[in-house]
Structure 1
Amino acid sequence: MASIGIFDSGVGGFTILKAVHAKVPGSSIAYVADQANIPYAAKSADWLIKRSQVITDYLIQNGCSTIVIACNTATVSAIGSLRARYPHLQFVGVEPAIKPAALHVTSGKILILATQHTLQSRRLKALCQRHAGQKSVIFQDMPEWVTMAEKGDINSGKVQAAIAASLLPFKDKNVQAVVLACTHYPFFKPVIRRVFPQAVIFDPSLPVANQVKKLHQDDGSNHPQIILATTGNVVGFKAAAANLLPFHAKIQSIVV
């Protein structure tokens, strides 16, 4: 049985999983990749709420008391309803790092990379108005990055060239901060650093892991289990996990 549950539309949440496991290494973790329904960015808010409830029920059945929504899109749509529906659970969502980015930037620009769903959300607009109202902000969706991350082949020359090419239009825009508001995007931080060597990259993984550690007492197990489950193609999921994760885990296919 796991004590921490993490879910995402796919493998993007692996960036969160790695950070959480490093912070609470003695806790068992159940991870759900809802790959049968990727991309979440194409779904309605109502659908995301209902789907998040279904996955939360699955994680509860597997012993989880702390749930991490490792997806910006699902967080902005569903975290409020999940907290209201399951008051006995602790939920940690992913929030774009607008405030620290705005504090860092002086005369340059903030580049926010997110899915279209997140970019259009009231939550992101409110964060920008509250913390970056006087800053120059560029908003950009990178849907092809999700597709490339899902394949797990993030280090190939072809993929890295494609990532760099998609960032070139912003290279001369005096970008001082890059906010990664999709959990798939941190896989490409090395390329982002090469394109914007002067910018600070704000990755949500560590803040989320710190919050989990604050809320969840480490189980202290000498033999914690990490179980990865997908609602999609388990063969492709295994290959992606082998490429993207630095540790071994039990992998299974589920229907929820």
Structure 2
Amino acid sequence: MLTARSPSAPIGVFDSGVGGLSVLRHIRAQYPNEHLIYFADSGHAPYGDKSEQYVVERALAVTEFLLSHGAKALVVACNTATVAAIKAVRARHPELPVVGVEPGLKPAAAATRNGKVGVLATARTLKGDKFLALREQISAATHAEFLLQPAVGLVDEIEKGDLQAPAIHAMLEQYVAPLLDQGADTLVLGCTHYPFVQDGIARVLHAHGRDDVTLIDTGDAVARQLGRLLEAAGLLRPELKPDATLRGYTTGAADAFALAFVQLLALRVAVEKVDV
């Protein structure tokens, strides 16, 4: 069995559901020869309306599962879990390369032209101490104004898989329009689910005559940071190996998760339901 410190071991990626697949696609694109395991904790989703302690417990349980399957590194591909639990994960496993995701406030502050940045995220992310500290830090350094908008229920709708559903369009209008009304010229997609409805957001922007609004998705930056940590630890898998594998696990319905791989990434992946 491969050890967790072997370059040939897999990278573990997890989210409360399918949203982290938006990060996974960047990882696959940048490191196509790496073995990957994706864990969707759909049986316990969404995290956004759970207590911080609950999210911490789930993150630690999923981390243990991924380590038991040989993971050499961990990507917490969930904004809510990063805000609530990444400190606890790193404390429990200080030897493990761990990358989290957080709303792209810094690149948004650099991109904005009028200093007003809308942040679309779950309520749990926007209330987290880590996020609030980041907001204060970036705001003080750049004088950008961050307009916070919790998108209640949007993750649940995206999880259903029909990205063109009227309910999703109605929610995007409900949550994006107020940010535009306040003058935001940059919009942070503060949840890994949201890049999958980027086309829907673009339609809302167009309907309001705001095609000039910049959208910030941090998936690419997360993948690059993962690569830096793996290289520093000597854990990058040797190149020119075309046999990279991708496995899926979920605490929800395996067939629904397998369908999500097809719908969102055009991939057919073997998925196993587990009790974690």
Alignment TM-score, normalising by the size of structure 1: 0.93
Native 8 Å contact 1:152 1:241 kept in 2: no
For the residue of structure 2 that corresponds to 1:227, the secondary structure is: strand
Q: What residue is the counterpart of 1:74 in the other structure?
A: 81
Give, in whole Å, the separation in 2 of the partners of 1:35 and 1:252: 12
For the residue of structure 2 that corresponds to 1:112, the secondary structure is: strand
Pairing partner for 1:146 from 127, 150, 155: 155
Shift of 1:175: 1.6
In structure 2, do the counterparts of structure 1 residues 95 and 164 end up closer, same or farther at CA, with 3 Å as the change threshold? closer
In structure 2, do the counterparts of structure 1 residues 246 and 114 end up closer, same or farther at CA, with 3 Å as the change threshold? same
Pairing partner for 2:34 from 27, 35, 40: 27
Pairing partner for 2:228 from 195, 208, 214: 214
Give, in whole Å, the separation in 1 of the partners of 2:238 and 2:88: 28
Q: What residue is the counterpart of 1:177 in the other structure?
A: 186
Give, in whole Å, the separation in 1 of the partners of 2:96 and 2:118: 34
Native 8 Å contact 2:13 2:75 kept in 1: yes
Q: Deviation per CA, 1:116-155, whole angstroms, max 9, x where unpaired?
A: 111011111111111124322211111222112101111x
Shift of 1:35: 0.6
For the residue of structure 2 that corresponds to 1:81, the secondary structure is: helix
In the alignment, is residue 158 of structure 1 matched against residue 172 of structure 2? no
Give, in whole Å, the separation in 2 of the partners of 1:4 and 1:219: 14
Shift of 1:164: 4.2
Native 8 Å contact 1:225 1:249 kept in 2: no
Q: Deviation per CA, 1:172-230, whole angstroms, max 9, x where unpaired?
A: 33221111111111111122233141111110211111111222213433111101111
Shift of 1:251: 1.2
Give, in whole Å, the separation in 2 of the partners of 1:222 and 1:254: 28
Shift of 1:102: 1.3
1:3-42 matches, within 5 Å, as: 3-42=10-49
Moved more, 5-14 or 236-245: 236-245
Q: Aligned letter for 1:13?
A: G
1:230-241 matches, within 5 Å, as: 230-241=250-261
Q: What residue is the counterpart of 2:201 in the other structure?
A: 192
Give, in whole Å, the separation in 2 of the partners of 1:174 and 1:51: 38
Give, in whole Å, the separation in 2 of the partners of 1:73 and 1:173: 25
Q: Deviation per CA, 1:67-126, whole angstroms, max 9, x where unpaired?
A: 000011111111111111111210000011111211222324200011111101111111
For the residue of structure 2 that corresponds to 1:27, the secondary structure is: coil
In structure 2, do the counterparts of structure 1 residues 163 and 45 end up closer, same or farther at CA, with 3 Å as the change threshold? closer
For the residue of structure 2 that corresponds to 1:182, the secondary structure is: coil
Q: What residue is the counterpart of 1:243 in the other structure?
A: 263
Give, in whole Å, the separation in 1 of the partners of 2:102 and 2:165: 31
Moved more, 186-195 or 63-72: 186-195
Give, in whole Å, the separation in 2 of the partners of 1:159 and 1:31: 27
Q: Aligned letter for 2:224?
A: N
Shift of 1:162: 2.2
Shift of 1:160: 5.5
Q: Which runs of 5+ in 1 are unaligned?
A: none
In the alignment, is residue 130 of structure 1 matched against residue 152 of structure 2? no
Quote the sequence identity (%). 35
Pairing partner for 2:104 from 90, 97, 105: 97
Alignment TM-score, normalising by the size of structure 2: 0.87
Q: Which runs of 5+ in 2 are unaligned?
A: 3-8, 231-235
Shift of 1:42: 1.9
